[in-house]
């Protein structure tokens, strides 16, 4: 395959949408099952606020690097995404954050710099249909044809995650969303950090386990316990939220993995620094791989609160997706890394 053309065209529809995907006038109750809209009023659990500190001061996790096995040939996986082959990859030591960047973290950055995100610049972002208020829903005219649960909501941005009439005040400890790859890069620069490479992200997400499906092992719910924030019920209309959360969860929800990272799978997709290609890694160097030199979309890892086995089984450590650098949605965030 020509590397220039490798990228999002090959990716099957996922629970993320790109900025260019919207189509006018395709929203209709039949598309998305509006009968379940009452779910949107579900109380969002509020976690205790952490100690007041700054993201830059919070300790990062130092990982020793070395050789690990990256990728999967899991029968439950998506070979077309380039999840395989399983290969030995060598990494230098690096630091990574235990948590995704939270609304509180991003607020410090925005307050300090006056930074304007891509969503604010464009004036809209993708909001999952069940979170949009009735009033805001009346203003929605565009959705994504292949993924009609994504509504183009004017005035949706990181401060207004469900639309202009919503706020982050009740979720300061949740991951920031509606931030693009470019926004994530800007934050990292300000914080003296950087995004992880895909290899670093996956190594960190595996938490020291070898060849497992999830950060904690092979079983989705060990002893019947939820270990990540994904979708339960019937996607995209009925979310039982039996894991405790219909939307985002606080960044420190559920036990961490073996390296001390929280919510690496589920909750929000996390941008990595690599351009996406389904096959570049087959022939590329396996020492500190950085991804292809060019591309259309940036790698995202970990899946989100919208992932469901029936539709988008990408809440596995080896799963991959991608989005264009200026795209944003209510299920996309990031965590930071740093050279050791
Ligand atoms: Ca959930
Ligand atoms: Cu998904």
Tell how far the Cα of 315 is from the centroid of ligand 2, in angstroms: 7
Q: Does domain 3-23+61-339 fall into CATH 3.90.1580.10?
A: yes
Q: Which of 208, 136, 180, 213 is nearest to 326 (CA)?
A: 180
Tell how far the Cα of 314 is from the centroid of ligand 2, in angstroms: 5
The Cα–Cα gap between 332 and 152 comes to 15
Which ligand has the nearest atom to the CA of 11? 2
CB 103 within 8 A of CB 158: yes
The Cα–Cα gap between 235 and 239 comes to 7
Half-sphere exposure of 81 (CA within 13 A, CB side): 24
Which ligand has the nearest atom to the CA of 233? 1
Check residue 20 and give its pLDDT. Answer: 87
Tell how far the Cα of 113 is from the centroid of ligand 2, in angstroms: 32
The Cα–Cα gap between 168 and 170 comes to 5
Domain residue spans in the chain? 3-23+61-339
Number of residues that make up the chain: 340
Check residue 55 and give its pLDDT. Answer: 66
Q: Which of 30, 17, 47 is nearest to 250 (CA)?
A: 47
3-state class (DSSP) for residue 37: helix
Which ligand has the nearest atom to the CA of 315? 2
Tell how far the Cα of 51 is from the centroid of ligand 2, in angstroms: 32
Tell how far the Cα of 268 is from the centroid of ligand 2, in angstroms: 9
Tell how far the Cα of 285 is from the centroid of ligand 1, in angstroms: 37
Check residue 185 and give its pLDDT. Answer: 98
Beta-strand ranges (E) seen in the chain are 22-24, 61-63, 66-70, 87-91, 94-96, 124-128, 142-144, 150-154, 233-234, 238-239, 269-275, 298-301, 321-323, 332-333, 337-339
DSSP character for 105?
H
Q: Counting Cβ atoms within 10 Å, is residue 145 exposed (0-12), middle (13-18) or buried (19+)?
A: middle
Q: Under 8 Å CB-to-CB from 276, ≥6 apart: which residues? A: 6, 7, 8, 11, 291, 295, 296, 297, 298, 299, 320, 322
The full DSSP string for 251-287 is TT-S---TTS----SSSSEEEEEEEP-SSHHHHS-SB
Largest CA distance in the chain: 53
- Consecutive 10-residue averages of pLDDT for the chain (340 residues): 37 72 57 39 39 69 98 94 98 98 98 98 97 97 92 98 98 98 98 98 98 98 98 95 98 98 98 98 98 98 95 95 97 98
Q: Which of 106, 60, 101 is nearest to 250 (CA)?
A: 101
The Cα–Cα gap between 162 and 251 comes to 18
Q: Which of 167, 120, 163, 128 is nearest to 144 (CA)?
A: 128
Check residue 56 and give its pLDDT. Answer: 62
CB 156 within 8 A of CB 178: yes
Q: Strand 337-339's sheet: what is its strand order?
A: 61-63, 94-96, 337-339
Tell how far the Cα of 309 is from the centroid of ligand 2, in angstroms: 9
Tell how far the Cα of 126 is from the centroid of ligand 2, in angstroms: 15
């Amino acid at each position: 395959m020509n590397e220039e053309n490798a990228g999002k065209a090959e990716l099957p529809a996922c629970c993320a949408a790109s900025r260019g995907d919207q189509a006018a006038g395709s929203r209709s109750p039949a598309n998305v099952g509006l009968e379940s809209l009452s779910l949107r009023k579900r109380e969002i659990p509020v976690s205790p606020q952490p100690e007041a500190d700054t993201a830059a001061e919070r300790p990062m996790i130092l990982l020793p690097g070395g050789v690990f096995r990256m990728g999967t040939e899991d029968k439950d996986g998506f070979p077309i995404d380039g999840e395989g082959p399983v290969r030995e990859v060598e990494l230098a030591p690096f630091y990574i954050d235990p948590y995704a960047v939270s609304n509180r973290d991003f607020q410090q950055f925005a307050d300090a710099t006056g930074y304007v995100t891509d969503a604010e610049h464009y004036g809209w972002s993708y909001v999952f249909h069940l979170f949009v208020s009735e009033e805001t829903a009346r203003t929605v005219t565009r959705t994504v044809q292949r993924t009609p649960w994504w509504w183009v909501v004017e005035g949706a941005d990181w401060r207004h995650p469900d639309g202009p009439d919503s706020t982050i005040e009740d979720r300061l400890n949740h991951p920031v969303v509606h931030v693009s790859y470019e926004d994530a890069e800007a934050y990292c620069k300000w914080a003296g950090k950087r995004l992880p490479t895909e290899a670093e992200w996956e190594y960190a997400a595996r938490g020291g386990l070898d060849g497992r499906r999830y950060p904690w092992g092979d079983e989705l719910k060990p002893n019947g316990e939820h270990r990540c924030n994904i979708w339960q019920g019937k996607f995209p209309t009925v979310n039982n939220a039996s894991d405790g959360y219909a939307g985002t969860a606080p960044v420190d929800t559920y036990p961490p993995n073996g390296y001390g990272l929280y919510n690496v799978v589920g909750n929000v997709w996390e941008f990595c620094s690599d351009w996406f290609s389904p096959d570049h890694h087959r022939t590329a160097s396996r020492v500190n791989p950085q991804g292809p030199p060019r591309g259309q979309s940036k790698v995202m890892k970990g899946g989100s609160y919208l992932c469901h086995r029936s539709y988008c089984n990408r809440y596995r450590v080896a799963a991959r997706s991608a989005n264009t650098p200026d795209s944003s949605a209510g299920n996309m965030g990031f965590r930071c890394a740093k050279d050791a």
